[in-house]
Amino acid sequence: MKTLIAFWRKDILNRLIVVVSIGLALGLISLSILVMRMPAGKSLRGAALDLIPGLGRPAAAIPTMAQPAPSATATWFPHPTRTPTAPQATATIPSLPPTGPPAVTPSPTLEDGKGIGAACIPNNPPERGRVVDILDGNTVKVLMQDKVYVVRYLGISAPEASNPFYQAATSRNSELVFGKDVTLTGDTVDKDPDGRLLRYVTAGQTFVNLQLISEGLASAVDAGPDLACGGVFSRAGQEAQRDKVGQWSLPATPGSP
């Protein structure tokens, strides 16, 4: 036994030889026992199965993976050939006129937004007020800044009380300006000898001075070469006489122009 222990400790190869020798000895002993216990008619494998029950178990069956179902094969069918058809006639829809509001054509009688012939009015600072009284065909009272002023239309003269058209001129003047807001514009002379304001007067789009002359209800007055609207008033008076309107419709009296 001491010899065996010394052999074991001597080298690792010796240890391996001892282990292998012991293993072979145990194997021979087991085989001898198996042969001795083997019943008649049994094979060596059968005796081994009796000695070691788990040796004869069948190996677990590996489940077979399901094979993918074969994909359907696409069958190509040719598209039916379309028979070309004649193009259908397109109905022509008549164009309609625009439905918006009609275009407004400005009146040719308006100038500069001030009234008929008002382009001659100078660009002096205007005054604004409301007519509160009519004195005659060319004179009114105007309320401006809580004060009432007497205003005489510049560059014109309406018929006097002795003239048959005096009342017509006064009434027409009232129709044009009474109770209305007016714009007053001066020229080179501010007032007349009686202290009345001398002004061009516009009411809305009506140049009142010129309107009365054009209707034959006033005459143009020569107020000197500095009067801005003198030429316009003179031409309007000549046209009124030519057309015989207003006071110019009366028969001419001896000594009248």
In tens, the pLDDT along 69-92 reads 555 444 444 555 555 455 554 545
* Rounded distance between C-alpha atoms, residue 72 and residue 96, angstroms: 61
Res. 2: pLDDT tops 80:
no
* DSSP assignment letter at 163: S
- For the chain, domain boundaries: 2-54, 118-249
Task: Return d(Cα 147, Cα 134) in angstroms, integer.
Answer: 16
Amino acid of residue 91: A
The 8 Å CB, 24+ separation contacts for 226-234 are 226/187, 226/188, 227/154, 227/155, 227/187, 227/188, 228/120, 228/121, 228/122, 228/187, 229/117, 229/120, 229/121, 229/154, 229/155, 229/187, 229/200, 230/155, 231/120, 232/117, 232/120, 233/155, 233/156, 233/209
pTM summary value: 0.55
d(CA 184, CA 199): 6
Average pLDDT score over the chain: 77
Locate 2 and state its tokens. 């001491």
- CATH of 118-249, picked from 2.40.50.90, 3.40.50.2300, 3.30.565.10, 3.30.930.10, is 2.40.50.90
Residue 8 has a pLDDT of: 65
pLDDT of residue 109: 40
Query: Amino acid identity of 251?
Result: P
Contact by Cβ (8 Å): 227, 188: yes
Distance of CA 143 to the CA centre of its chain: 46
Work out the number of other CB atoms within 10 angstroms of the CB of residue 138.
25
pLDDT, one tens digit per residue, over 184-226 is 999 999 999 999 999 999 999 999 999 999 999 999 987 666 7
| DSSP count for the chain of H helices, then E strands | 6, 8
Which tens digit of pLDDT belongs to each residue from 116-175? 678 999 999 999 999 999 999 999 999 999 999 999 999 999 999 999 999 999 999 999
